[in-house]
Structure formats: C-alpha cells, structure tokens
Amino acid sequence: MDSKFFLEFVTSLPYDYSDVRYEENRTVQIVYSGKSLKKIAENNTSGGHIRVYHKGGKGVGSFTDIKKMYPLTKELAETAEASAKDSKKKIKLAPAPVVKCEVILKPPIHPLSVSLKEKKELLEEYNNTALSVNGVKTTEMYYYEFYSKRIFANSEGTLIEYELLIVNIGGTIIAIKDGITQSMRVTIGGNDNYGKLLNRWDIFQKKAEKAVELLSADPAKGGTYTVILDPSEAGVFIHEAFGHLSEADIIQNNPAFREKLKIGTKIGNDILNVSDDPTIMDVPGGYVFDDEGVLGQKTRLITNGILTGRMHSRETAADYNEPITGNMRAVDYKFTPIIRMSNIFIENGTSTFEDMVSSIDDGYYIVGAKGGQTSGDRFTFGAEYGYRIKNGQLKELIRDINMSGELFSTLKNVKMIGNDLAFSEVGGCGKGGVGGGMQLNRKSGKGSPHILIENVTIGGKQ
Amino acid sequence: MKKAERIIDFLKPHFDEVEVLYQEGEEYTIGFENSQFSYGTGNDTTAYAIRAIKNGKMAFTVSNSTNKKNLKKVLETLKELVETGTPVEFSFNKNSNYEEVKHYAPSIKKTTSSQMYEEGMYIINKIKEKQPDATINVTVSKGVNILHYANSNGIYVSDKGSAFSTTAYLLYPGMGMGVGTWSSSLKKFRISSRKLNNIVKDYRIGLNGFTPQSGKMPVIFTPRGLFAVVITLIEGISAENVIRGISPLKDKIGERIFSEKFTVKDMPIENTTHARRFDDEGVPCFNKVIIERGTLKMFINDLKTAHQLNTDPTGNGFKRAMFGGGIEAMPHPYMANCVIEKGNITINEIIKDIKEGIIVEHLMGFHSSNYLAGEITGQISGFYIKDGKVKGRVDGAMISMNIYQDMKNIEVSSETDIGYLGSSMPYIMVKDVNITGR
C-alpha cells in the first residue's frame, strides 16, 4: 500500500487526533512433533488499526478490508464523542515530535534470503540432536519467523514506514520414566539475524540430557527459602514482578497503586537498578519506533533502589505528567497498541555467583525460566530445574519448582546482585485486559545477572 | 457462490485435496476502569486457513484477502510449501451429517454501543449502591462469529454464532487483585441481581486476608477455578498425546481414574455460546461422555489421530490452545464445550463441614505447571475457610496437586455456572491437597 494514502486519509479527518497503522505480515512456521513433521506454513495477512481521539474520548478498531476503514472511523469517532460526554476525565495526549522516517532492517543473514528447505533441514537437525539423547521420549520443536512491514500515519503529520522481524528456533523436550514426566524448554535466536540460529547443536544436546537427568531428581519441597535465580529466571522475575506494574496503563486507573508507585519512592535496596531499553537491537525486544510513532528509548525504572521512571503511551504520559518513552506496541493489526516492556533488565551488581552460594545455609539455586504470571502486586513463576543449597554448597538436582511472592516485599529482599548480566534469547509476554483481548508478544526481552532473594515461597509437598 | 467454495474451486485443480476454513468476525467491546469509561474497541476482520495435499504431502497457509491477485499468491505459496510439506496419510472430511445448533440471536446486530454503555453503567451503579468505595472495572462485549468450511470432497458447511458478555471486577483496597463475575448469553441481557449481590458479598469477605498453615487440606475449585483441572485433563485425553506416549491416560480406557462423582462430557450441540456444529476440520461435532462416573470412556480425536488409531474422528480438531491458538494454528484434539455433571449437595453444605480449607477462583502461574503429568501448581486467588465458614481471601499460598492421584475423593456441588472452557461447571471439592502457606 502507498503510505501517502494513509497520511492523506488521516490528516483529512475532522477529529482532534487520529492515527492509522497498516500492516503486511508474513509468518513462517515449521513444527516437528517427535520425528514427524507436523506443520509447514507460511501466512500472509494484511490489515489496519485506527485510533480516534475526539472531545476527550477515544475509539479504536481494526479492519482487514480497506473499504471498511471509512465507516469504522466514523463509528469510532461517535464512540469517542459519546463516551466523553459522561466521563469526568477527558483523555489528552502528550506531545510527540512529528516524524517522517523509514526504518529498514539489515540483519547479517536475512531470514527472507534463506530457503524454506534450509530452514526445515536446520530445525530437523536440532530436533534429531535432542531425540538422539537416550531417555528422551519425544519433542515438539518449531521454527518461527515473523516479518511485519508497517505504515504509521497520524493527523499531526507523522509518517513512518518500518519493519519488525524476529526469528526463533525452540520447543520442548520431553523425557518419561516410571510414570515421571519432565520437560525442558529450549529457544535460540530472538532477533532478526538468521545467523544466530546456526551451529547451536550443543544447547539442544545439553537440554535433552538435563530433561533425562531430571527424571531421577526429587521435586522441590514446599516452604520459604533464600534462593539464587539464574539470569534467565531473574529476567522473568523482574519482568513479572516489577515490569508489568511499571507499565503505566496497568495502574492508570488503580488509585492505590498510583500512590504506591510514585516516582521517588524507595522500592528496593540500594544495589537494585532496573532499566527498559528497546535500543538493544540484538535481543528480542529491540525496535526503533513504537506503534504510536514514538522513538523507542532507554528508561531507567529503578535507580539505586528508587523508582525513577515508568513506561508510557502518549495518553498515560499526559495523565501522569511524565515523559513519553516509546513503549506502545501491538502484536498485529487486530490489536490496539498497549504499553509493553521492550528489553527489561536488572543491571549488573558486584557479587559473584560463588559469593551467593556460600552465603546460604538452606536454600535453592533456581535455573531456567518456565513462564510466569502477575496480578497486581502478586506474582508466580516456574523454573525448569534447580539445585538444593546446603551449608554454602550446591547439592542435589531438584525438579518441579514453582514460586510466588508479593512485589514490594520481594524487591526489598533482593540482597545480592551478580556481575554477569545476560539476556534471554526467547521473548514472549501475554498481556490482556487493557484496551481489549490478550496480546502474545514475542518481541519482549528480559535479562539479569544472577540475583539472591530472601524469603521466597516455593510450592510443593512439605 | 460462497467465498469459501470459490477459493476451493480456484485451488483444487492444482492439488489432490484442498480445504478452507473461512472466519468472519465482528466484535465490539467497551471497557470501564475505576468506574469510568476507558475505551471502545471495534473489530471487523476476516481470515481464512487453507490446507492442501499433493503426493502425500500437506501445505498450510493463512491469508485474508480473496481478490484474484492475492489468491494467485496463495496458490504460489501452497505450491512451494507442498514440495517440502508434512507427510500425510489421512483425507479431508467426507462426513456431512451436521446437526443444527441455534446459537445466533439476530437481535445482537441491533445492540448499540450506547446500550452497551448503559449496561456497563448499570453494573457499576448497582455495585456502587452497595459498596460505594470499591474500585470497579467492567467490560461489556458483543460479537458475531461466522465460520465457513469447504473442501474438495464436496463438503460445504457454515455456522453463525453470537455472544453478549459482561464482566465485573472489584479490586481490594490497595491491591491489584480482587473478585470478579462473568456472564454471557447469545443476546443482550441484564446481569442478575444474584450475581451482583454475590460479587459484593465476596468482596466484603475478601477484605480480610489469611495465609493458611502449610499442610494438606480440602480445596474447592469454583466453576471458573476448574480451568486448571480441565486444561490438565484435556492434555490427558488428547489422542495426540496418547499416540506420542506422553499421556498418563494411555492404555487406561475403561479404567476408574477419578472419583465416581466425576463425570465429564463434551457438549458442542447445545444452544449456548460454547456451541459448535463442526470442528476446525469440518468434521461434524456431537455430544459425548469422556469420563463416566470416574471411568475413562474415550479419547478425543482429530482427523490425523483418528487415522493413526484406526478409529473415527470425534469432531474435536480445534485450533485452540492455552497460548497461541487461533486461525494460524493447526487443528489438534481439544474439547469443544466441557460440561461437568453436577452433584446433589449444595456448595454451602460442602463448606459447612470443612474445618480448614481453601476455595480456588484462579491459579496464577498455572501454565508453568507440569500439567502433561497431571500436576497443578500455582498461587491461589480465592478464599480461606475455617470451621465451616468463609473467613476471607487467601494471601500468599500455593497449591500443589496431581489430578490423577488427588481427585479420587471429591464432592461435587448441585449448583453450576459457566466456566472458562465450558457452559456448565459445578464446584468441586478435592479432599486432601498440598498447600504451602505459612
């Protein structure tokens, strides 16, 4: 589509502010289930999303047929106007620079330059590597590539043509013995470079061996412990426990949380520094412009334990009277942009892993993220495996670990931070309930050094 | 000629078999946060998924434009994909014995955004009358979903469904969590006074937090809390997992797995918002018993697993998953509408006999559980029971159970409500469950 068509359309509208985002999306998926090729697919879809702000109200909506863009826009403007009549609070947008720009990605090896056959063969090799490990029952392995060509135009004159691209190989390795089932997740890639997927057999081999080893491990014992989280798990912790509450739309209409999370509040120990940074382009959450036409930028969320920033849209920035940050993103045209973390991470501290282990009398070393969830200040997340720590030493392997906690007390319980910051190659975050349905965003990065937390609740038999 | 049939006619000369699932959707949602209107979202989108077979290999693609230029692109994509395609031995559906389902209310089209706004404000005002200080979030949604299925075996079928739904959520003071209520119907309705009264009652009870002592105790899953049990069970009864050898239920047809009080049905042929005439492979859906009085009666199949097991498909090939479902997913065995048979004891009678126990409304982080093995873990959002009375909300406690080991001793309530994955779910009490608390 011609980008000027959208700019002309949106600048001709008689509303206070409007924007349109039009996308052409291509997804390639290859899936192996055990030895069998389960799916080979290429999807090509297109569509747009409109936002209308008028007289203090707003309406948003999506279309696939361009002819429906016109009646939909009118309907959304009516919604905006009608809703504003009864609402005490009038929606405003913080100012943002007018931009005319084109963003073309140039990865060292562009996935679009690699044949489908080569992609399938690479996935098959990694899958066979995992399946060849004695004791592995089956696998579910995928190749995933998402390429999105987007046009963003707003009534202020901004016109941006930009690309998003992410490629991953990953999946689950399952081992079963004597009625015990254990699974390990593995993911490589996470940016726009196909080259990052090459020559990675070792990780599939090691993860498969670990899945088998876990069959002989004991489950975690429920209780409250001091734990060390590895960078992968600590990344999930900061994403789930703190990151979501730093997304301004989550707490915008929750007076209690707005009070608790005022800028300048002491939220953690002095050693804790947390940032969100979309300008780190080689990890999953990197991008140039967000889906509201705002340049992505690093935001320091916690500095020396004090809350110093949060992630914003133009709407929430105006509401909070804080700076815009460029965090508004939509997974595709079916969705309105919402505030998302880009690459959230705990910055390096000064402790070593050995210092942490030797400081614990009875606890766990927890390894490998297995997903998490947050609701308000409560969070829960799982781990792939762990090790018992007794009297300052790593002991036996442990399986089936799930832990939970409350944000404010847990952040204060982060007592040591390592000097070995690492980002996960896997992105992925589900967020719903703000402006519509669940959006599963693969372009969401997280990182951390090893961290030590006291008083963490671990579920399980006592 | 219908669009789905036109696509088939265009593609079939190039392949041995071809099918299309064509989806048209219109949705409109308005949301209120902290009792104020927050957003209106309208979607009018279409998409279609095609599977094509040639020389024993299958290709899959999704697109959403049916103009000639795009259809030519779809054809070229399929031709390239099928060269390296998925080896396939089954054929697309040939069965056209579809049952009628009435789950479309034409009046949904006439429901205006201002009427939806009024329903939202009604809910907020009614709650405010009883609990003026509550932070209230409400959504009101309407939707029409039309599915067309066609294939080169001459099958064409379509189905149209409507839904109107409301949710209300009250946040506990100073917290990001609270209590909620969910209602849905085929057409616009007004939320019942009973539901509004109950949510205020639950909110008031939940103002006090309790962390139970760690140990074993009875746990009651509410109709919505049962989502964790149902998702875990679906993994067990999926013929795909049985064939892969990773279902704990493989080789257990005819065996007692659960309490005799546990009967689970898949009921797509009923006039509710959960109804389906056909699955995402065009196979006719039908009602069936999966677990009868605790005994496993059958597995659920799609076309592929039915062929592998040399049996008939059960109309359970759906593009559904806990994460990542939708038109771009491949169909796999999943339940259409899970219905759990009610018992003959009221929830109040169940509660009054509990010395110390838990009510589970939601399990945060459940998706991290080892649910393939039947394990359910997660942080509890729900209520604490002491000496036969619901005393307050549960704070900071985790559950750890295995549905195949722990659900041999249960009680099932006589009341039911809609659940997350089904139209009729009771409350189920599991007698001895590990809880990690204080």
How far apart CA A290 and CA A308 sit, in angstroms, is 21
Spatial CA neighbour of A283 closest among A170, A426, A431, A420:
A426
Q: Check if the beta carbon of residue B377 is closer than 8 Å to that of residue B399.
A: yes
- What is the distance in angstroms between the Cα of B344 and the nearest Cα belonging to chain A? 32
Per residue in A292-338, pLDDT tens?
A: 999 999 999 999 999 999 999 999 999 999 999 999 999 999 999 99
Q: Is the pLDDT assigned to residue B168 strictly greater than 90?
A: yes
Which chain A residues contact residue B248 at CB under 8 A?
179, 181
A371: contact with B, CB 8 A cutoff: yes
How many CB atoms are closer than 10 A to CB B251?
9
Of all residues in chain B, the one with the smallest CA distance to A381 is: B365
Instruction: Determine whether the interchain pair B434/A461 forms a contact, defined as Cβ–Cβ distance below 8 Å.
Output: yes
pLDDT per residue over B279-317, tens digit each? 999 999 999 999 999 999 999 999 999 999 999 999 999
| pTM for the model | 0.90
The predicted structure's pLDDT at residue A433: 61
Instruction: State how far residue B333 is from chain A, nearest Cα, in angstroms.
Output: 14
At residue A211, the pLDDT reads 96
Per-residue pLDDT of B24-38, as tens digits, reads 999 999 888 888 888
CB half-sphere exposure, B185, CA atoms < 13 A: 11
Cα separation of A17 and A7, whole Å? 13
Give me the residue from B39, B77, B81 closest to A60, CB to CB. B39
The CA–CA distances, whole Å, from A329 to A93, A103, A315, B383 equal: 16, 16, 13, 36
Q: What is the DSSP letter of B105?
A: -
Model ipTM value: 0.84
User: In A330-377, which ranges are E strands?
Assistant: 338-339, 343-346, 362-375
The number of residues in chain B equals 438
Mean pLDDT computed over every residue of chain B: 94
Give me the residues of chain A with pLDDT under 70, please.
Answer: 86, 433-436, 460-462
What is residue B226's DSSP assignment? T
d(CA A101, CA A201): 40
Residue A165 burial (CB count, 10 A): 20
Inspect the interface and report whether the beta carbons of A402 and B74 lie closer than 8 Å: no
- Across the interface, of B44, B375, B378, the residue whose CB is closest to A400 is B375
Closest partner residue to A462 (CB to CB) among B41, B85, B215 is: B215
Of B40, B248, B381, the CB nearest to A375: B381
pLDDT at B1 over 80: no
Cβ–Cβ gap A46/B64 under 8 Å:
yes
Distance CA B392, CA B211 (A): 10
In this prediction, residue B254 carries a pLDDT of 97
**Pairwise CA distance, residues B299 & A342, whole Å:** 42
Chain A residues inside the 8 Å CB shell of B64: 45-47, 64
First-last CA distance in chain A: 61
Stretch B361-382: mean pLDDT: 90
Assess whether pLDDT exceeds 70 at residue B121. yes
Question: Tokens 């100012």 sit at which residue?
Answer: A95
Of all residues in chain B, the one with the smallest CA distance to A256 is: B174
What number is the average pLDDT over the span B153-166?
96
Q: Are B63 and A44 in contact (CB under 8 A)?
A: yes
Taking the Cβ of residue A268 and every Cβ of chain B, the question of whether any pair is shorter than 8 Å is answered with no
What is the rounded CA–CA span in Å between residue A445 and residue A236?
A: 9
Closest CB from B38, B330, B372 relative to A39: B330
B35 to chain A: closest CA residue: A253
Question: Listing from the earlier edge strand, what are the strands of the sheet with A299-303?
Answer: A306-307, A299-303, A274-276, A343-346, A445-448, A422-423
- In angstroms, the CA B189 to CA B119 distance is 9
Which chain A residues touch B400 with a CB distance below 8 Å?
222, 402, 459-461
To the nearest whole angstrom, how far is the Cα of B234 from the nearest Cα of chain A?
16
User: What DSSP element (H or E) covers A67?
Assistant: none
Is the CB of B43 less than 8 angstroms away from the CB of A46?
A: no
Return the axis-axis angle of helices A69-86 and B113-130, rounded to nearest 10°: 30
Best mutation target among B41, B121, B231, B242 (most A Cβ atoms within 10 Å) is B41
- The bridge status of strand B389-394 relative to strand B86-87 is unpaired
Q: How far is A234 from chain B (nearest CA, A)?
A: 15
CB A235 within 8 A of CB A229: no
Q: Please tell me the total number of residues recorded for chain A in this structure.
A: 462
CA–CA dist A299, A314 (Å, integer): 15
